[in-house]
Structure 1
């Protein structure tokens, strides 16, 4: 086999592996695979068959996939989820979760019909953006539901919407506020601005909202990234907060905290229970209580997580 033939075969196997991952791991139909890989439906079918014949997917099917599907169905049934995906746990759970979430997000981004998609921020969602294939989809709007500034004006490192817009060419609408204002009066003033009201109205029309889930405690994401200070962490813990979404803190039952920093959150308000599709993208041992509470309080009605987190969530479902 000459070098050119070898390169062609490698590229064909790459495509077959991608098609098989979408079909067996992400649960895409052959029509969806054809759209995402920009090939015909017949070619998508051949690529999946090639992956099977070349044993490219053997390691996926021996055990982890079937177990993950069962866990996803159990989570879906337990909390009445509209969307639930569970991926095998790896050394860094963020990798597998972000790949799966990116695949799910791309299903929306690849559509020709204009859509509005909303996002919080954070490390996990930034990892999702990094997995998105470059494309040009200017018909879509990508909306942030949370600001990206601290009390003191410095920007967080894990903004999502502008980076996603750069990657896919969609229109970007970042929230022009800090995550948490310095006072109730400042929050009220910020949220009466035309730019905020426009984004809030767009977010309410979103086809889907993807959110990260953070725990509350010392060196939690909000604290580590400078959005809340030491005294505010202490205040939230004493108020019973265990988790947060877009800066909104909630307790063990998933109920939004009264007062504390929640009186100054300048993000788009969360619905409780969520009326539209809100997909939590999260997993690791530190965040189990926060994820479970978000499910319990119906702040999210979709979840993309990893196997180990799914097992822990189900084990604590009745606590």
Structure 2
């Protein structure tokens, strides 16, 4: 019975994909689609809608938006960025626009024939970016993590990037074999002497580009919500003046990495400050404006993909700081 339902669904998705291709690529009307697929006009309309809802097709806008371009140029000039993209803000707080823009940028590296190393942190927005990458076969590349993906007691994070992207692209995956934050400094030092960690650190240092999420620091912030740090640790970070984090590394309003708190036990790859390799921050939402502004001030990132509202807020903050 389950097999029959699976075959029926597959057949319907095949038909939806044909309808979407005829509509979006071949520029057919719904009446023409109905005739070619031998279905009613209403059925043709539903098939096209199904293709969209099942994400069988991806939308990319070729016409540049002048306001977003102006904001990106202003950010690039102000913070001496190597690259900057600004997308229209979403009224519902969706990350889709940022994810689509970041995926388009990432694809330029993944489609290269020359073997390339690309590094990543983790998080919801980066995971959404990966969801926008089409399936491909690029085994010549290496995809490397700069952050562990579990709490020190073993619970795995839900927004891992490297393994998921490897499955979509066929590239070799190199996840960091440690928790995000070790239970002690002694444990962190021991974990970082393992050959697997040394290999990954070497690959990260050779990466052509690194994509990182930017997290805010506060109650139920990404590190806290994911269980990587507990109530006491997030409270300590706030008392130390932390406003944001990159790959678990907390920093203050000036973008300076903290020398205390959980930073002493980060088991991932150390960050550069100021960053030397291309490192693109991928994040949006006004709740992250202080974290993004500080990361730019502290030169923890030299590339940015964000939304219009955040871009405007960062530029306003730059005028008074």
TM-score w.r.t. length of structure 2: 0.82
Alignment of 1:249-260 (within 5 A): 249-260=250-261
In the alignment, does 2:26 pair up with 1:12? Answer: yes
Displacement of 1:11 after TM fit? 2.4
After superposition, residues 90-129 of structure 1 pair within 5 angstroms as: 90=90, 91-129=92-130
Q: Distance between the aligned counterparts of 1:7 and 1:134, measured in 2?
A: 18
Distance 1:113 1:316, change over 3 A: same
* Residue pair 1:93, 1:306 contacting (<8 A) in 2 also: no
Aligned equivalents of 1:6, 1:115: Cα separation in 2:
34
Distance (Å, rounded) in 2 between the aligned partners of 1:19 and 1:229: 39
- Over the aligned positions, Cα root-mean-square deviation in angstroms equals 1.9
* CA distance in structure 2 between the partners assigned to 1:6 and 1:280 by the alignment: 33
The residue that corresponds to 1:268 in the other structure is: 269
Q: 1:136 to 1:236 in 2, by over 3 A?
A: same
- Rg (Cα) greater in structure: 2
- The aligned length equals 274
Q: Which runs of 5+ in 1 are unaligned?
A: 26-64
Spell out, residue by residue over 1:66-93, the C-alpha distance to the aligned partner (whole angstroms, 9 max, x if none): 0000000000001000000000111234
The correspondence of residues 13-162 of structure 1 with structure 2, limited to 5 A, is: 13=27, 21=60, 23-25=62-64, 65-90=65-90, 91-162=92-163
Name the CA distance, whole Å, in 2 between partners of 1:81 and 1:13: 40
User: Which ranges of 4 or more aligned residues in structure 1 deviate by more than 4 Å?
Assistant: 4-7
Query: Cα distance, 1:6 vs. partner?
Result: 10
- Counterparts of 2:124 and 2:278 in 1: how far apart (Å)? 21
Secondary structure of the corresponding residue to residue 119 of structure 2:
strand
Q: Note if contact 2:75-2:84 (Cα within 8 Å) is conserved in structure 1.
A: yes
Contact 1:241–1:257 (8 Å) recurs in 2: yes
CA apart distance, 1:248 = 0.3
Question: Residues 229 and 5 of structure 1: is their aligned pair in 2 closer, same or farther, counting only changes over 3 Å?
Answer: closer
